[in-house]
Every structure is written in C-alpha cells, then in structure tokens.
C-alpha cells in the first residue's frame, strides 16, 4: 500500500474525528455515560487506531518475533501444590453443587448462580490472562480423574486410554461452550440454583467419561470445554505454569504454538458469537425482531414459552454463524489476495490464534460491569452460600456498591479492551503472515483482509455495547 495515500486517509479520518465531536456536543448528543463524543465516533476512532497499528506493523515489524517464543523459568514450585489446588477445586465444586440443591432457591441469595455466571464464566478468563492457566490446577474434574486413576493404578494396572480421534479435535469443546451459552442466554431456568447444580453434575459426568476413554491429558486439551476455553485465554498470559515450575514469556507468544486442530475455529467463533449475541439480545434491533419471530413460531403451533426459546436459540446460532462467516470471508480474501498454495481451511487454521485476544476483548467489553458490580455479591455469598442466614466469615452484611465505578469509566474500559484486543489480533496475524507468505510485501498485502475483519469485529463490538446500553 502506498504510504502517502495511507497517511492522507489517516489525516482525513483524524480530522473528521476531531471536528465532528464539537458538532455532536452542540446538538446535545451526549450519552448517559456523560461522554464527550457520541458513541459511534468511538468506532471511528478505534478504526483509526487499527489502521495506524497496521501501518506501524508493516513498517516497523519486518521479522517474526512471536513465532519462536522463548521463556524463562522464574521459580520452582513444589509438586505437592498441584494435588492441593485440585483438592481445593473439588471442594469448591462440591460446595457450589450442594448450595444449588440444598440452599435457598432465590437467585440472589444462593452462591451457585453468581459463582457460575460471574466468577467462573467471567472472572477466570481475566485471571487466566493475568496469571496463566490457573484453572488447570484447580480443575475439579481433572483432579477427580487423576485421583481416581492414582488410587486405581495401585490396585491393578489400568488399561491404556484410547487414542483421541484426530477428526474430533476441539469440536466437543465448541459444543460445550455453545451449550453453556444456551443455558446462560436462552434457558428460562438459568436463575434457578438447583439447575446450576444439575448442569454442573452433568458436565462433570461427561468430563469423567471423556477422560476415562481418552485419558486425562488428551481430553483436557481438546474435549473439556471450560479447560480448553480458559486454556486458550491463558496463552495470552506472560506466565506459563507446569508441574514443578513457573515460566515467564512474552505476552501473546503462547498463542503461536496453538495447534489449530479441527473445531478450533468453530470454538473461537462460538466464543465470540455467543458473547456478541448476549449484547445483541439486549439491544433494540433484537427487541423488535424477537417478538416477530416468536409470533411466527406461535403461528405454526408452538407455545409462547417454546416459541421464545426457539427464537433465542435461532438468534444465538445465527450470530455464531455470522461471526464464523466473517472470519471465513477474511481468510478467503487473504488467500485470493496472496495466491498462496494453501486451502482456505488450512489458512483459517493457521490464523485461528488471532481470534483469541478478540474473544477475550469481547468477554471484558461485555461482562466487565457484571464482574465489577455483581462480582461484589461474592463477598456476602461466601459467608452465606446457601442463603440461610449464616455468617461464616463475617461478611454476610456487606452489600453491592453500585457507585464505586461510573458508567463513563466502564464505557472507557470496554472501548479500551476492544481496541487492545483487536490490535493484539493484528499483531499476531502480521507475525504469522511473515512466516506464511514469501516476503514482507506479500505478508502485508495478505493482511488487508484481516485488517478489514478486525475493524468489522471492533465496529460490531462497539455497536453491540452501545445498543445494549441504550
């Protein structure tokens, strides 16, 4: 791309971004968050940031830096820590399941729904990006399977597990995340604590069967939906844990060694798509569309409740498919632009890791407010997990402070997460292009389409946020 032309386009974009807010404020278009510029202008500014990043990478990043990651051992860790963490994970799992069955069936007073939807679903991804794959150590299903295997192998030698089917890849994980998202976003009984306990037990049973068939490690890498989900986010982290040691590495570099087995792109599309649908289903477009779909489904014989569930299920699947289609479109464009001797599927797999920071950006952008506001409920719920009036740690009387962070601050965090996530995606794509295409020029040209995909995802994310908050 001609640098002069790009600079001219950037100058126009920046000029527009600087001039238009004044007009916007003059017309009183200030959001509820008390923003200095209208929300759509953040989308324009984010695009400028991405284009500048793209140009910067083309000029200043001529050689791959992340593809051959080096890491340094930081500290040795006692081997006992792994079983101890596993035991803690099993205890927490047991407490949540017990609370779900035996505790109050009011959503807000039972620890199960808040623990699952806030700490587990949103908090662990954040912890994984900061501290590495901490979930692996606390994974209760892995701990139970390893414990049982250790005891059983003392009684008699255990048979070798079956080889994990190569074609199955991460499809079970994709199906698991889609099923959980359906439970969270569609199922009407999602607030019922006992349903959380049932789902947790059912999930654990599937994991134990999978691990007994294919081995703990193989199933954990491919089939355990949450293990894979948190593990993908942990690859962003500068820390990598292994039994006996903690290693330090360059952030994002863990993603380049991701083996994009079958189902990986589907899993990542599901991760982004389900979060997108969560935002979309809170916006005015879905607000107009859902009743029409529900009416149509009722007209062909479904009850109101079933029609509503079906409408949301269709919406969820359509949005996941759209996200997958958008990525596929970008990869197809990249292939056509570069005339490379790889199929679209191969190229999609090769660049799949670039979607991980985007998926994380979507998680932060959509659930940050949930984490920082509803997450406070855990302070009183740990003291009274069953909602029976107990006060184990003396924190049962604490309440949620809705004012400690303003709506404006939340919006800025959301925008920053989206922009940083997509810039990280661009960096990874550029780095991978340098080792995939014949020279820097071909690599840069191949990434025109990925730039368009990143801008599309950023604009989509910001539109969903603004629609959900409107």
Partner 1 sequence: MSGPPIAHAGHWLVNLLYLVPLLVVIGMLAITSMRDRRAEAAEGAGAPAPDPPSSDEP
Q: Which residues bind partner 1 (CB under 8 A)?
A: 1-2, 5, 9, 13, 38, 40, 43-44, 46-47, 51, 284-285, 288, 291-292, 295, 337, 445, 448-449, 451-452, 455-456, 459-460, 462-463, 466-467
The whole-angstrom separation of Cα 410 and Cα 133 is 26
Structure tokens given for 160: 């070798």
| Distance in Å, CB of 1 to partner 1, minimum | 5
Which residue lies nearer to partner 1 by CB, 13 or 127? Answer: 13
Structure tokens given for 43: 């989308």
C-alpha angle 346/350/355, rounded to 5°? 125
Which residue lies nearer to partner 1 by CB, 256 or 466? Answer: 466
The whole-angstrom separation of Cα 56 and Cα 169 is 36
Residue 153 has a CB neighbour count (10 Å cut-off) of: 10
Q: Give the DSSP per-residue string, 50-103.
A: HHHHHHHHHHH--S-SSSS--EEEEEE--TTHHHHHHHHHHHHHHHHHHHHHHS
> What angle in degrees, to the nearest 10, is found between the helix axes of 225-234 and 124-131?
40
Which residue lies nearer to partner 1 by CB, 5 or 63? Answer: 5
- Cβ atoms of 83 and 138 within 8 Å: the answer is no
Four-CA torsion 127, 239, 142, 229, nearest 10 degrees = 60
- Cβ atoms of 204 and 149 within 8 Å: the answer is no
| Distance in Å, CB of 452 to partner 1, minimum | 5
Which residue lies nearer to partner 1 by CB, 5 or 72? Answer: 5
Buried (b) or exposed (e) across 397-411, using 16+ Cβ within 10 A? eeeeeeeeeeeeebb
Which residue lies nearer to partner 1 by CB, 73 or 292? Answer: 292
| Distance in Å, CB of 240 to partner 1, minimum | 36
| Distance in Å, CB of 132 to partner 1, minimum | 35
Which residue lies nearer to partner 1 by CB, 45 or 410? Answer: 45
| Distance in Å, CB of 366 to partner 1, minimum | 16
Of 177, 147, 202, 155, whose CA–CA distance to 263 is shortest?
177
| Distance in Å, CB of 326 to partner 1, minimum | 11
In the block, residue with structure tokens 């709506």: 407
| Distance in Å, CB of 347 to partner 1, minimum | 17
The whole-angstrom separation of Cα 97 and Cα 296 is 39
Which residue lies nearer to partner 1 by CB, 31 or 123? Answer: 31
Which residue lies nearer to partner 1 by CB, 23 or 285? Answer: 285
| Distance in Å, CB of 9 to partner 1, minimum | 6
| Distance in Å, CB of 346 to partner 1, minimum | 22
In the block, residue with structure tokens 């340098």: 434
C-alpha angle 46/47/48, rounded to 5°? 90
| Distance in Å, CB of 280 to partner 1, minimum | 12
If DSSP states are collapsed to H, E and C, what string results for 403-434? CCCCHHHHHHHHHHHHHHHHHHHHHHHHHHHH
Which residue lies nearer to partner 1 by CB, 8 or 150? Answer: 8
Which residue lies nearer to partner 1 by CB, 38 or 89? Answer: 38
CA 179 distance to own-chain centroid: 15
SS3 category, 249: strand
- Cβ atoms of 106 and 386 within 8 Å: the answer is no
Which residue lies nearer to partner 1 by CB, 194 or 282? Answer: 282
| Distance in Å, CB of 288 to partner 1, minimum | 5
């Amino acid at each position: 791309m001609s640098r002069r032309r790009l600079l001219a386009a950037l100058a126009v974009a920046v000029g527009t971004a600087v001039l238009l807010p004044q007009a916007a404020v003059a017309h009183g278009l200030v959001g509820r968050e008390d923003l200095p510029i209208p929300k759509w202008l953040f989308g324009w500014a984010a695009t400028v940031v991405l284009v500048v990043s793209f140009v910067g990478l083309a000029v200043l990043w001529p050689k791959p830096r992340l593809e051959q990651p080096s890491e340094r051992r930081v500290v040795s860790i006692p081997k006992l820590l792994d079983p101890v963490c596993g035991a803690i994970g099993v205890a927490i799992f047991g407490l949540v399941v017990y609370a779900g069955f035996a505790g109050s069936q009011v959503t807000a007073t039972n620890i199960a729904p808040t623990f699952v939807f806030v700490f587990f679903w949103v908090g662990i991804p954040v912890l994984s990006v900061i501290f590495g794959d901490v979930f692996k150590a606390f994974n209760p299903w892995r701990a139970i399977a390893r414990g049982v295997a250790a005891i059983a192998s003392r009684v008699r030698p255990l048979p070798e597990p079956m080889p994990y089917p190569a074609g199955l890849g991460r499809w079970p994980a994709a199906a698991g995340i889609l099923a959980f998202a359906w439970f969270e976003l569609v199922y009407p009984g999602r607030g019922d604590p006992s349903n959380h306990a049932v789902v947790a037990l059912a999930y654990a049973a599937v994991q134990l069967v999978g691990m007994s068939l294919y081995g703990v490690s193989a199933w954990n890498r491919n089939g355990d939906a949450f293990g894979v989900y948190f593990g993908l986010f942990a690859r962003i982290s500068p820390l990598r844990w292994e039994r006996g040691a903690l290693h330090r590495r360059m952030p994002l570099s863990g993603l380049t060694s991701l083996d994009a087995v079958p189902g990986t792109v589907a899993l990542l599309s599901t991760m982004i798509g389900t979060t997108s649908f969560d935002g979309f289903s809170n916006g005015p477009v879905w607000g107009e569309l859902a009743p029409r779909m529900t009416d149509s489904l009722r007209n062909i014989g479904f009850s109101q409740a079933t029609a509503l569930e079906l409408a949301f299920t269709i919406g969820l699947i359509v949005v996941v498919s759209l996200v997958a289609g958008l990525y596929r479109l970008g990869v197809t464009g990249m292939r056509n632009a570069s005339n490379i001797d790889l199929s679209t599927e191969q190229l999609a797999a090769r660049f799949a890791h670039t979607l991980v920071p985007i998926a994380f950006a979507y998680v932060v952008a959509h659930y940050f407010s949930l984490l920082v506001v509803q997450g406070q409920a855990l302070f009183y719920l740990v003291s009274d997990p069953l909602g029976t009036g107990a006060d184990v740690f003396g924190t049962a009387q604490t309440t949620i402070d809705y004012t400690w962070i303003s709506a404006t601050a939340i919006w800025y965090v959301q925008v920053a997460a989206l922009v940083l996530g997509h810039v990280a995606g661009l960096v990874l794509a550029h780095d991978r292009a340098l080792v995939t295409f014949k020279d820097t020029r071909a690599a840069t040209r191949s990434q025109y389409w990925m730039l368009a995909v990143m801008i599309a995802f950023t604009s989509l994310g910001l539109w969903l946020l603004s629609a959900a908050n409107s």
